[in-house]
Amino acid sequence: MSENEQELARDLGFLEAYTIGLGTMIGAGIFVLPSIAAEQAGPASMVSFFGGGLVSLLAALSLSELATGMPKAGGSYYYVNRALGPFFGSIVGWGMWAGLTFASAFYMIGFGQYLLPGLGEYVGFLAGWGQIGITVAALVMAAILTGVNYYGVKETGSLQNVIVLSLVGLILAFLALGIISGPTLGEFNPNGWPAVAATIGTVYVSFIGFEVIATSAEEIKNPSRNLPLAMIAAVVTPTLMYVGVMFVSTGTLSIEALATSKIPVADVATEFMGTIGALVMIVGAVLATVSSANASILSAARVNFAMGRDRILVNWLNEVHDRFRTPYRAITVTGIITLVLIAVGVGVGTLAEVASFMYLVTYALVHVAVVVLRRANPDAYEPSFKIPVGLYPIVPILGFVSCLAILVQMNLIVQAIGTVIIVFGVLWYFGYARDRALSTSLVGEAIAPEPTAMANGEGRYRVVVPVANPETERDLLRMAAASAHAHEDEQAEVIAVNVIEVPRQTSLTQDLTFEEERVERQQELLDSARDIATDLDIGLRTRAIVGRDAGSIILDVIEEENADHVLLGWQGTRSRREHVLGSTIDPVIGRAPCDATLVKLGPEDGRGEGDIIALAGEGPHAPVAAQRAAEFVSAADDASLTLLNVQPPENDSDEDLSPTERGEAVIAELAERAGIEYMSYDTKVKLAEDTEQAIIEVAQEYDTVCVGATRSGAISQAVFGSLPEKIGAEVPQTVVMARGPEESPMSVREAIMRRLEV
Amino acid sequence: MPESLTNHLVVPVVDEEDARETARILDDYEYGRITVVHVIEKGEGVPDKLPLEQAEQRASNAFGAFRGFIPEIDTETAYRRDVVAAILDVAADVDASAIAFRPRGGNRLVQFLSGDTALKLVTDADRPVIALPEETENE
């Protein structure tokens, strides 16, 4: 079922992915930039467009590998944040957001230029509004597009295909007729090669569109094939068209005429296609700029989402509108910034160049991220598309160097604005993100590097233990250590986490200063955890975190640490209403992708020690419970293990076995499934009608009861099931509820991994 | 023997809040099996408005909130552009006796912009549709 669902969630084929990329690529760039590019580098600006294409092709290869390895919303930002940490994550996140808003503003001004001075030649009342008219038109259209995304107006895939394909047809017709008319180039390279290189920076904004394909990675069918193919095709097609358009433009009009034109492509078209041709080009330009800006606003909202998810940005922005089902706040903010940028009037060239600058910085870091991930090779990173053997590491190195080379060639003002945005990202990191970004290891916490920890964390068994109560801390850590020791004596480690929860109404910093007491308590708690770990002879790391919601923070820690097991304490009382076992326990137990254990501590000296009984039922997680029991027994000095099975007294089946024999068989089979058949254990078969009652009675004779989850949750938020929870609530002794890895919580990514492993 | 109307209900929920409210209301009545449905709206050809991860998170939050009141439920997540069609398909798949949902208010404009799913659900359905009251009055 779940695999089926993954398939259903993927509804973009190659053609859709390609047209999404193409639709964003063919935008204002090709319609507005020929005038600026021609002014800067003459006919040689063709080479600039070609160079931009090459740089993008390198980025597309690296991005394809990252996107198939980690198909997550957020695109480049996500990969950089994951590989290089929140410092670079802040820079790229803000950089991409800025880049997309600058690009949107640029598209919209391009729209205004074609709509007013362009259409104004044919439609009387549109003429003569001047620069102010362009700005107003741009503002109005940007506001409309923000509204479209806010209200979640659904565009249709077929409409998109029609627009994109007619744009391609239009440009091809332009090229064909233009070339037939016999363009004659003037001096090919009037301003020299440095100008050509600098022009790459100017025109690079026309190439940022293919990123949209990466941000939609989780929606693409058969991503290992379609994603790289769509990306490469979405880079190559426009590159050839851009080069061709530059060739025709500079060959048809003089450089001076091009440079002063606000609607260069239409003016060129007039020369050989007449008025009709020019009009068609104008309509095409209007459509193209609108579709590009629309895609950019949506992409910006995704970057927002990803930053909020990683706590680099306030999650407030990610609120989903309860009716329109859109991230309306992120869209509104993006829209407002775009409007401001249009209104400020920094000039269409500068807008384009700043967007280019931010994306070149982003792609430079994306290339670094590929190398870092390849070398670090974390477990979760299994790209289904890899840069081909002969091209790695040449592609990322060349890509990185070329991005930097273009960056240093760019206009000083642009470099200054770009640097301001980067510095903002850095300041944001130090001022905000460092203390909150929970998704990465460096942040918001006091890490105590443990000397016994090995340098290389690969393959190490990790147990995450959230601790909150000094009285139960020792027992929980001991039980976690028992589990860790059972796996790898030398390298296993326990990670103690404490979360200070701050209510939503207060700001995190404000609350912290007022609540120094809580921080102090947190420190004490973790200090004593370290002492306990020394006693237990187990590697321990501590993580102190301040955040809104303990459950999701713990889940983040589990994912980051790549934990194998999470062990939580439970007070034994069910909460009413919204939660089943507790607001923190429900999500952690429900969604943790690893083994999860919930411990209700009973009287002292019997907490995972003494006489331990494990329920040997036929449930899917019974073996896990038996394993836990075996781990505790192995770690304790003087402990015994009993496996219990309850059978109905009357045997309805045709088998000759007596109920007791049947129970014994179940137990033997379970021991084998749990891999504990070598251990010495007692078996106990109880005959009773009421299984639950029988278990509760027997359990009270022991010190610790281990029970497996009865609900095998295909759905997250499933808790253990009614039987284990009842035992937990009713048996006064220590009760350990265990389950194995959750089957389908991590959605797309894990499913893909699993499919690839086969 | 005619089937009871509430023998097996399919209950669509939009988000956490909606799920909680719906379950709270439903819990005051007698019901048989319940299958809770959350539809993730897909672009089908264009990128989705919501990142998939966020959408799936919403689904799981909604199911969790529902379980807070009525723990024993089946859940279905559907991925479709057409929300109403997806709900009806799930109802057909599980052979539900009726669809129960909580219509949400809002003025004409908002309903128009959000596609007035309530109206479409009622008119398109091939089985009984039960509209749950906004507030429980029979206490």
Domain endpoint, select from A403, A436, A469? A436
- Give the 3-state DSSP-derived string for A620-648, with helices as H, strands as E and coil as C: CCHHHHHHHHHHHHHHCCCCEEEEEEEEC
Select from A20, A215, A219 the residue whose CB has the most chain B CBs within 10 Å, as the one to mutate to test that interface: A219
- In this structure, are A624 and A514 located in the same domain? no
Could you report the per-residue pLDDT of B39-88, keeping only the tens digit for each? 988 877 777 778 887 888 888 888 888 888 888 888 888 888 888 999 99
Domain B8-131: give its CATH superfamily.
Answer: HUPs (3.40.50.620)
Tell whether A145 is covered by a domain. yes
The kind and range of the H/E element at A687 are strand A682-687
What's the domain range around A664? 598-758
Q: Report helix, strand or coil for B118.
A: helix
Spatial distance between the Cα atoms of A30 and A586, rounded to a whole number of angstroms: 53
Write down the pLDDT at residue A143: 94
- In this structure, are A431 and A450 located in the same domain? no
Domain count, chain A: 3
- In this structure, are A419 and A457 located in the same domain? no
Residues 30-89 of B with CB under 8 A from A: 40-54, 56, 58, 60-61, 63-65, 67-69, 71, 75, 77-81
Residue contact B54–A580, C-beta within 8 A: no
Strand partners, A707: A737
Could you tell me where the beta strands, DSSP code E, fall in chain B? 8-12, 33-41, 74-80, 98-101, 129-131
Which residues of chain B lie closer than 8 angstroms to A322, CB-CB?
Answer: 14-15, 17-18
- In this structure, are A546 and A455 located in the same domain? yes
Q: Between the CA atoms of A101, A107, A110 and A115, what dihedral angle is there, to the nearest 10 degrees? A: -110
- In this structure, are A143 and A30 located in the same domain? yes
Answer whether A399's CB lies under 8 Å from A62's CB.
yes
Spatial distance between the Cα atoms of A681 and A664, rounded to a whole number of angstroms: 12
Tell whether A450 is covered by a domain. yes
- In this structure, are A604 and A534 located in the same domain? no
**Residue B105: HSE in the Cβ half-sphere, 13 Å Cα cutoff:** 3
DSSP string, A424-492: HHHHHIIIIIHHH-TTSTTSSS-----TTS-S--TT--EEEEE---HHHHHHHHHHHHHHHHHH-TTT-
Which residues of chain A lie closer than 8 angstroms to B77, CB-CB?
Answer: 5
Domain ranges of chain B: 8-131
- In this structure, are A178 and A215 located in the same domain? yes
Select from B14, B39, B53, B107 the residue whose CB has the most chain A CBs within 10 Å, as the one to mutate to test that interface: B53
The number of helix segments (H) and strand segments (E) in chain B equals 5, 5
CA distances from A539 to A453, A483, A490, A491, A525 (A): 6, 13, 9, 7, 17
Spatial distance between the Cα atoms of A470 and A476, rounded to a whole number of angstroms: 10
The kind and range of the H/E element at A139 are helix A130-150
Tell whether A752 is covered by a domain. yes
What is the CATH classification number for the domain harbouring A667? 3.40.50.620
Q: What are phi and psi of A602, to 5 degrees?
A: -95, -150
Query: Any CB–CB contact under 8 A between B119 and chain A?
Result: no
- In this structure, are A432 and A451 located in the same domain? no
Tell whether A586 is covered by a domain. no
- In this structure, are A520 and A385 located in the same domain? no
In chain A, which stretches have pLDDT less than 70?
Answer: 1-8, 124, 127-128, 156, 378-380, 437-459, 488-490, 502-516, 572-582, 650-656, 711-722, 742-758
Which residues of chain B lie closer than 8 angstroms to A234, CB-CB?
Answer: none
Q: Report helix, strand or coil for A97.
A: helix
Write down the pLDDT at residue A186: 82
Spatial distance between the Cα atoms of A15 and A10, rounded to a whole number of angstroms: 13
Tell whether A405 is covered by a domain. yes
Could you report the per-residue pLDDT of A394-429, keeping only the tens digit for each? 999 999 999 999 999 888 999 999 999 999 999 998
Q: Which residues of A57-80 are buried (b: 16+ CB within 10 A; e: fewer)?
A: bbbbbbbbbbbbbbbbbbbbbbbb
Which residues of chain A lie closer than 8 angstroms to B75, CB-CB?
Answer: 715
Tell whether A638 is covered by a domain. yes
Of B50, B60, B110, Cβ closest to residue A716: B60
Q: Is the ipTM of this complex over 0.90?
A: no
Residues 45-84 of A with CB under 8 A from B: 72-74
- In this structure, are A645 and A742 located in the same domain? yes
Answer whether A464's CB lies under 8 Å from A551's CB.
no
Instruction: Return the DSSP state at A498.
Output: E
Contacts of A586 (CB under 8 A, 6+ apart): A551, A579, A580, A717, A719, B64
Identify the CA nearest to A54 among candidates A272, A243, A322. A243
Identify the CA nearest to B125 among candidates B99, B104, B105. B99
Answer whether B99's CB lies under 8 Å from B10's CB.
yes
Select from B52, B58, B79, B93 the residue whose CB has the most chain A CBs within 10 Å, as the one to mutate to test that interface: B52
- In this structure, are A501 and A399 located in the same domain? no
Domain endpoint, select from A536, A563, A590? A563
The most distant pair of C-alpha atoms in chain B lies apart, rounded to whole Å, by 48
- In this structure, are A337 and A358 located in the same domain? yes
What is the CATH classification number for the domain harbouring A88? 1.20.1740.10
Spatial distance between the Cα atoms of A590 and A613, rounded to a whole number of angstroms: 25
Strand partners, A708: A738
Write down the pLDDT at residue A49: 94
Amino acid of residue A32: V
Tell whether A8 is covered by a domain. yes
Q: Report helix, strand or coil for A192.
A: coil
Identify the CA nearest to A204 among candidates A35, A321, A37. A37
Domain endpoint, select from A513, A543, A563? A563
Q: Is A12 left (phi over 0), alpha (psi -120 to 50) or beta?
A: beta
